[in-house]
Structure formats: C-alpha cells, structure tokens
Amino acid sequence: MDIDWVPDPSCDLWNPDDGRFFPDLEITPLMQGVGACVPTTLAMLTGAHPSAFMVPEMNTQDPRTWSDLLAPYGMGLAYVPCDVRRLEHYLDELVALDDAFLLSYCLHPLDCEPDERGKLGPSHVVLLYRDMIYDARLGTSCQAEEHSCRLRHTKRIFRVVPRGSRRGSVRTARAVLGDHPSWGIRQPPAPAAAPPASG
C-alpha cells in the first residue's frame, strides 16, 4: 500500500488560536485538609467552599468526576496531550496560553519501578492560572517558574474549558461522536456487501 504520509513528531499542548476562556478569574489561595488537594484546588478555581466538592460523586482518582462537579460553575476539564516528562518541559507553553490549567504530578522522582500495587507513589494537583501556580498543599501562590513542580514528573494536565466544550467531558464527547465503548471514537464504515453473483 503506497500512502504519501509520515507521522508528525511534535504536538502543541493546545491550539493557541482558541484564545483565553477565563480571562478574569480571581483566585484566592486555600490550604487543604489531609488528602483534599483535588476538592480544595477546584474550590480555588470556582470560588466555592471545598466542601462543595467533598461529596460522594467526587472520586479523586477519576478526573471525569472533577469535570462533572465543575459543570454548575460553567466549567469543565479537557485533557491536554502529555507524557511523563518533567513539568518544566510543558510550563512555558502552558503559561503562554495565559489561561487556567490543572497540573497533576508525582511528588517523588520516578526513578524506580511501581510497587506491588502498581503505584508510583503519591501525586498532587495544583492550579495554574496565567503565570501563577496556586498550591493547596502549601496554601500559597507563586510564579510558575518558581514552583518546585517544574522538577516533578507529569501525571496529567487538564485545561479548564467552558461547560459544553467538545473537549470538556466524556458526556459531551458521547453526544458528538456516539456512545461507543471507547467513548466515541469514530469507527470505519462496515465494508459494503458484495453484489450477488450473476448467473
């Protein structure tokens, strides 16, 4: 099969032509309780109390639930393509996008194999808004270039998007692409049936 195509070795984190979704957020640093970095970070993002996100629907290991709980605030989360390299390789591009992101990263260097449960150790989530990082573990904010997460390995990155954005939730993806088990990946059409043999 002769196809004139080669893979692209690069990928933007986000199309800069989309502009800014949330230009006027007012973020107040909050200090989290034990194990509450996700609810507290979502509270900083929305201006709500952390208890608004400490509900049965919250699963701190499932970002789809985070996105669903942001819906009443007109927000959702969209996955940003990334891998396990250190956040310092992403931060400059994220800051240039000048908007709101959730950064999830490993608290310890990834220099070992996973444990017997398949875990790589504890992780943490911070809010990046424009060029500032808001860290619920410390209850402080600082310039992104000064935060220690730069040297940590990436777990996940999400952009905060308006509610209903095509990239904002699994529910939206299903609505756009269909309820396939892979959450809406378009499948190739089935081959046409062969015409009946003449005879």
- pLDDT at 165 (0 to 100): 75
Q: How far apart are CA 128 and CA 130, in angstroms?
A: 6
> Helix 170-177 crosses helix 63-70 at what angle (to 10 degrees)?
90
130-184 pLDDT tens trace = 999 999 999 999 999 999 999 999 999 999 999 877 765 444 433 433 433 333 3
> In angstroms, what CA-CA distances link 21 with 98, 135, 160, 174?
9, 21, 8, 22
DSSP letter at 63?
A: H
16-66 pLDDT tens trace = 878 899 999 999 999 998 889 999 999 999 999 999 999 999 999 899 999
Q: What CATH number should be reported for the domain whose range is 31-110+120-177?
A: 3.90.70.10
pLDDT at 127 over 90: yes
66-119 pLDDT tens trace = 999 999 999 999 999 888 899 999 999 999 999 999 999 988 776 666 677 777
Domain parsing of the chain, residue ranges: 31-110+120-177
- pLDDT at 8 (0 to 100): 74
Task: Tell me which H or E stretch contains 104.
Answer: strand 100-106
pTM tops 0.85: no
